[in-house]
Amino acid sequence: MPKFMSLVAHEFFHLWNVKRIRPKGLEVFNYDRENYTDSLWFCEGTTSFYDLVIPLRAGIYDAQCYLKKVSEAITQLQTTPGRKVQPLSESSFDAWIKLYRPDANSKNAQISYYLKGELVSFLLDLLIRTQSNNARSLDDVMRQMWQQFGQPEIGFTREQLKSVFESVAGMDLTPFWADYIDGTVELPFGEMLAPFGLALKIETPNPIPYLGLTAKAEHGSAIIKFVEAGSPAEQAGLEPGDELLAIDGFRVTAEQLSDRLQGYQPGDTICMTVFHQDVLHQSSLTLGSPMPSHFNIAVMTQTTPQQKSLLREWLGIQPNDPIDVLAV
């Protein structure tokens, strides 16, 4: 039910964001051709931010569930290699030619403007709250965007969007825009969460040596579907479409791959046997250190009264309710 309600909230919020508050590229809808804009991260990403916030405020789920859902989004972003390659603004502009036409290398070269846009909006909300001691938030950005562009139905430029954020935040956001919207600098989750007494815990629940490929069972065969750029698998010449047969002479299926790797240590060299374009091929590769697979928002061990106050007001936690249960 919460997932369905988030979908309902997302589409409902579009009645304002995009239907009325829209960038110049969508000011006049043209149904005969593609409509390009580098602000889809705000149109869809900010809407995705609110599709988690609205059920929280409506009492459909609590603060712990909300932070769990944000943690899941962070995990999805941080395990997508393309975040280091494609800027958010470029992802927005390339939507028509890339996002909806994925190929075997898409995950290495692209990022979803829905996903990263949601998390950039999340960080901007935290930044505004920190700067104003919770007196302002992303809500104030949306109100100003509505008054300035939504009500008169005037398309906004990227410069105008940035200007509204800056007026609400009370600070120059040029470095933020350059790093996290037009650049590929890693998002500063720890820095933005700290004023609220929260931290981002990086976890590897099932630590296995890093291979860097994903395989899927198809008609009884283990087919490599994805090879991460720069990974041991890529360096060994493995490619999507190869049929995985064995590791060190022992047959392996897609379902057994993780279990088989647990018998090795980082730095071990293994022999991978595959069919590459119907030709039997063997490759030696050196396994890397386990990669983080889960990112969870958790309350710091020690928090100040100021941090607790900001956290409670932000998430609507009552004064008598404990905050240590927020660990996800």
Contact indicator for 111, 83 with CB cutoff of 8 Å: yes
**pLDDT at site 217:** 94
**pLDDT at site 3:** 84
**pLDDT at site 328:** 47
**pLDDT at site 325:** 53
Contact indicator for 199, 303 with CB cutoff of 8 Å: no
Q: Where are the domains of the chain?
A: 2-203+295-326, 213-286
Tell which residue, 138, 161, 131, 265, has the closest CA to residue 209.
265
Tell which residue, 282, 177, 178, 289, has the closest CA to residue 236.
282
252 Cβ contact partners less than 8 Å away, ≥ 6 residues apart: 222, 244, 245, 246, 260
**pLDDT at site 33:** 75
By three-state DSSP, how is residue 327 classified? coil
For 2-203+295-326, which CATH superfamily applies? Neutral Protease Domain 2 (1.10.390.10)
Contact indicator for 83, 184 with CB cutoff of 8 Å: yes
Contact indicator for 62, 325 with CB cutoff of 8 Å: no
- Which helix (H) or strand (E) is 270 found in, with range? strand 269-276
| The 3-state secondary structure of 58-116, one letter per residue | CCCCCHHHHHHHHHHHHHHHHCCHHHHCCCHHHHHHCHHHHHCCCCCCHHHHCCCHHHH
Contact indicator for 126, 196 with CB cutoff of 8 Å: yes
As a whole number of angstroms, the distance between CA 253 and CA 90 comes to 38
Class of domain 213-286: mainly beta
80, two tokens: 């997508």
Tallying the residues shown for the chain, one arrives at 328
Quick: pLDDT tens for 235-282.
999 999 999 999 999 999 999 999 999 989 999 999 999 999 999 999
Neighbours of 197 (CB within 10 A): 23
Quick: pLDDT tens for 283-312.
999 999 999 989 999 999 899 999 999 999
Q: Identify the segments of the chain with pLDDT beneath 70.
A: 1, 98, 100, 322, 324-328
**pLDDT at site 117:** 97
